[in-house]
Structure 1
Amino acid sequence: MHRFFANKSNFLNNLVVLQGSDVSHIRTVLRLTVGDEIEVLDGEGSLYLVRLSELKNKLIKCEILSSEKNDTESPLKIHLGQSLVKGNGFDVILRKAVELGAHSISPLLTERTVTKSDSDKKIIRWKKIAEESSKQCGRSSIPKISNSIVKLETFCQQASDSDLKLIFWEMENKKRLRDINPETAPNSASVLIGPEGGFTQEEVETARSYGFHSLRLGPRIFRAETAPLVVLSLLQAKWGDIG
């Protein structure tokens, strides 16, 4: 069954209103009509079975038939600071990060970032990718994509409340994730992943000054598109909901 997201403010009594690109998708692409049923998520852990009751050019009204809890979010809120990478690599990383349960994703501009992005257009695109990926993998909420491309130090400052702060650096020769064993399981983790050329020594020192642990993933160096998927999988297996 087709699934859509709607803001909680769009739920009115026994109705939910769909707007924006969902309208043309339902009318033109899916060719649904009055009486057809779809599923709508409110982004807060509830799933609604609804019936299309009124189709207009700019909005669709749906009658709520039933609702149930559908919380598929990980107990570990991972805030991913991912450096921009070449080509469409960030798009691929974003889709996989959504599947792997990242709570929020911030595109980073770092010293060795090669790609220079038209940030406004890219941010809009990335938010759309996050929404579509959330629908496809059954997420009960859409991960937050930052409203702008941020610098590493800004991300570090915003991570002040995270239980766990990690920066992955191929030049680290001592600590790995398996060496991080807090007394209580973390509820949140802020994670920094570098671009193709990795982080500079200065960037790692900056992160450390904000309480980040610098870690190495293993004896091999991963591609920029592979590293975040490995990190997210390991974190979810250790403290989240995978495995």
Structure 2
Amino acid sequence: MHRFFISAEHFQTAEISLPREISQQICRVLRLKIGSEIMLLDDLGFEYVSRLTEVNESQCTASILSKQTSPGEPATQITLLIGLTQREKFELILQKCTEIGVTTFIPIITTRTLIQKTSDADDKLPRWKKIIQEAAEQSHRGRIPLLSPALKYAEALAKSTTEDALKLILWEDEANLSIKQQLRAFKGNQVSLIIGPEGGFSLEEVELAKASGYIPVSLGKRILRMETAAIHAAGVVLYELG
């Protein structure tokens, strides 16, 4: 069943007028007919089985048949701070980590990121949000992960998470403490992960993270590409904590 996020304000009545972009997708791409069933999502954690009652490119309408809590949201909330990198790599991280279950993305600028100005990332936000939404629909998420504007490293550390969260910075020079050890000792449901850019973090950046409550951890003995590290770390968190 095809899934579409629409704003919660559309669900005030049992008969819903779908946005023009979705209507065009239904007609031109999916070629659905009157009577076809679709799943509508309100981005609040609920999903609605609906039946198309009118199909045209200017506006489709659907009638709600049933409402239920979306089962696709993990119990653990992950905030991922990720160094800005090449477009293909960064978009892969957004897509795959949305599918896995990341809750919030914060693009960060460090001393070694390829992008050094937050303004250089601003014009990419609409495309990134679309990638995240499409991945959320495909993977049966009940909410669209949040995407922050790009932040400087120190600012991101201050804004990234609450005091109750487990804060971890993945650092290739950490030899003693593994991510698994920290996760298995943690009893909460909020985790903040920092993934560095190509070239990793400077020692000063690691110390700044530690001063902000982050714990340096290792993902293992092998050195991973940043996109591999981000996807793997998110999967490990949800495997251990659910």
Query: Equivalent residue for 2:107?
Result: 107
Structure 1: gaps of 5 or more residues: none
Per-residue deviation, 1:10:
1.1
Distance in 1, matches of 2:123 and 2:53, equals 34
The AA in structure 2 aligned to 1:140 is G
Query: Equivalent residue for 1:18?
Result: 18
Q: Is the Cα contact below 8 Å between 1:6 and 1:17 reproduced in 2? A: no
The AA in structure 1 aligned to 2:150 is I
Distance in 2, matches of 1:130 and 1:87, equals 14
Per-residue deviation, 1:57:
5.4
What's the CA shift string for 1:185-219, capped at 9, x where partnerless?
A: 12101110001111111111111111110112111
Distance in 2, matches of 1:207 and 1:125, equals 29
Query: Equivalent residue for 1:53?
Result: 53
The AA in structure 2 aligned to 1:122 is K
Distance in 1, matches of 2:16 and 2:227, equals 38
Query: Equivalent residue for 1:154?
Result: 155
Report the more deviating stretch, 121-130 or 169-178. 169-178
Q: Sort the Cα spacing of 1:160 and 1:32 in 2 relative to 1 into closer, same or farther, 3 A.
A: closer
Per-residue deviation, 1:173:
2.4
The AA in structure 1 aligned to 2:6 is A
| TM-score in terms of structure 2 length | 0.90
* Bigger helix fraction: 2
Per-residue deviation, 1:69:
2.5
Does residue 62 of the first structure (1) align with residue 62 of the second (2)? Answer: yes
* Equivalent residues in 2 for 1:1-243, closer than 5 Å: 1-55=1-55, 59-115=59-115, 118-146=120-148, 148-161=149-162, 162-180=164-182, 185-240=187-242
Structure 2: gaps of 5 or more residues: none
Distance in 1, matches of 2:209 and 2:123, equals 29
The AA in structure 2 aligned to 1:159 is S
Q: Is the Cα contact below 8 Å between 2:24 and 2:56 reproduced in 1? A: no
> How many residue pairs were aligned?
239
Q: Sort the Cα spacing of 1:130 and 1:169 in 2 relative to 1 into closer, same or farther, 3 A.
A: same
Q: Could you say what secondary structure the match of 2:220 adopts?
A: coil
Pairwise CA RMSD of aligned residues? 2.0
Distance in 2, matches of 1:208 and 1:17, equals 50
Distance in 2, matches of 1:173 and 1:180, equals 14
Distance in 1, matches of 2:182 and 2:73, equals 23
What's the CA shift string for 1:104-136, capped at 9, x where partnerless?
A: 111111110124684233111111011111111
Per-residue deviation, 1:83:
0.8
Distance in 1, matches of 2:218 and 2:224, equals 11
Per-residue deviation, 1:77:
0.2
Q: Could you say what secondary structure the match of 2:221 adopts?
A: coil
| TM-score in terms of structure 1 length | 0.90
The AA in structure 2 aligned to 1:132 is E
Q: Sort the Cα spacing of 1:209 and 1:230 in 2 relative to 1 into closer, same or farther, 3 A.
A: same
